[in-house]
Structure formats: C-alpha cells, structure tokens
Structure 1
Amino acid sequence: MAYVITEPCRGCKFTDCVEDCPTDSFREGDDMLFIDPETCIDCDACISACPVEAIFPDHEVPQQWQHYIEMNATMSQKSPMITEIRRAE
C-alpha cells in the first residue's frame, strides 16, 4: 500500500505535507505534488499535514479520483524530489 495525492492538490500552494515525510517520497510536478509509491512506507505522517485533504491510502481513493493512483506512480518517476515547505509567493 502507498499513499496517493489526488485532485484537491491541483493548483495547491501548500507544501506542509512534504516536511513530515520520513522517506522523502514527495515529488513536485508543475501544478501538484505526487507521492512515489516505491518509497512511501504508509506511515500516515502526511495525512494530517495536508491542509486540503488530498492524500488517501491507495485502497481508499474515491472512485472519481482512481486515475490518480497511476498518475502518482508515473509522475513521481519524472518529477524532482521536494523535502522542504515552500511558502506561496
């Protein structure tokens, strides 16, 4: 199991979740973040840190956002790592 970032993160300027990740699994895309399922250890640390409630365990992703499971897996391999909070400009 891994965590998945979904639709509420699109265009989100918050990056609070990345700082709490002990395995540096977050990746930064053009308009949202992604979680690398290969390094995520399902620790729950990011869930409470996400102010827009965009992160779900892969088996609990709402039906309308199921495509984000594959998107996180694919885009996390193409996007750079993010490990620190970035304040919105």
Structure 2
Amino acid sequence: MTHVVTENCIKCKYTDCVDVCPVDCFREGPNFLIIDPDECIDCAVCIPECPANAILAEEDLPQDQLHFIEINAELSKSWPSITRTKKPLDDADEWKDKPNKLPLLER
C-alpha cells in the first residue's frame, strides 16, 4: 500500500510533508502535491506533518477520495520531484478545509 494526497491539498500546497520524506516521493504541481506510488515506502511520517490533513494511507481513504489514488499515480509520471519545503500558496489557509476542490486542480 501507499499513501495518497487527497483533495484537501488542492489550492493549499503546504510542503511540510516534503522535508520528512525519506525517499523523496513527493511531486509538485501548480496548486497541489502528489505522492509517487512507485516511490512511497509506506512509512507514514508525512501524515502528521500535513497541516491540511490531506495525506492518508490508501486503505484509509474515504469513498469520496478513492479517485485520488489514480490522480496521484497519473500525475507522478509528469510532475517534478519536490524535496524541500517551500512557502504554501498565498491563500492556503483560506482554502484548507473547503470541500469540492477537484475542479480547481491545475494539471
């Protein structure tokens, strides 16, 4: 199993999780981070680091977030690796807990 970045990361892109990842499995898009499922070693150290609670173990995903397994896998093939913390998006705190952000995902 792997870990998955879910909808709550969209338009936030906090990068606290990136610094603790021992295998550099995070990839960065314009307004979202993803986990490369081929690189993730399922260590779970990223989960408590995410201020948006957007990272879950694949087996713990709620039904309405299951499609993020495929989204993480798909985008990991084209998005560049991120290995250091960056400033979150300017309005991240405003977007952090808003639902239904999938249409806002920039690929």
- For residue 53 of structure 2, what is the aligned residue in structure 1? 53
Task: State, as a whole percentage, how many aligned pairs show the same letter.
Answer: 48
- What is the count of residue pairs matched by the alignment? 89
The change in CA–CA distance for 1:36 and 1:13 in structure 2 (over 3 A counts) is closer
- For residue 80 of structure 1, what is the aligned residue in structure 2? 80
- The RMSD of aligned alpha carbons is 1.0
Gap regions ≥5 residues in structure 1 = none
Which string of whole-angstrom CA distances, capped at 9 and with x for unpartnered residues, describes residues 18-67 of structure 1? 00000000000121000000010000110010011000111111111110
- For residue 62 of structure 1, what is the aligned residue in structure 2? 62
* CA distance in structure 1 between the partners assigned to 2:61 and 2:78 by the alignment: 22
TM-score by length of 2: 0.80
TM-score by length of 1: 0.95
* CA distance in structure 2 between the partners assigned to 1:23 and 1:36 by the alignment: 10
Q: Which amino acid aligns with 2:73?
A: A
1:21-32 maps to which residues of 2 (within 5 A)? Answer: 21-32=21-32
Q: Contact conserved, 2:47 with 2:56, CA < 8 A, in 1?
A: yes
Structure with bigger gyration radius: 2
Q: Secondary structure at the match of 2:72?
A: helix
Which string of whole-angstrom CA distances, capped at 9 and with x for unpartnered residues, describes residues 3-28 of structure 1? 00001000014110000000000000
The change in CA–CA distance for 1:68 and 1:82 in structure 2 (over 3 A counts) is same
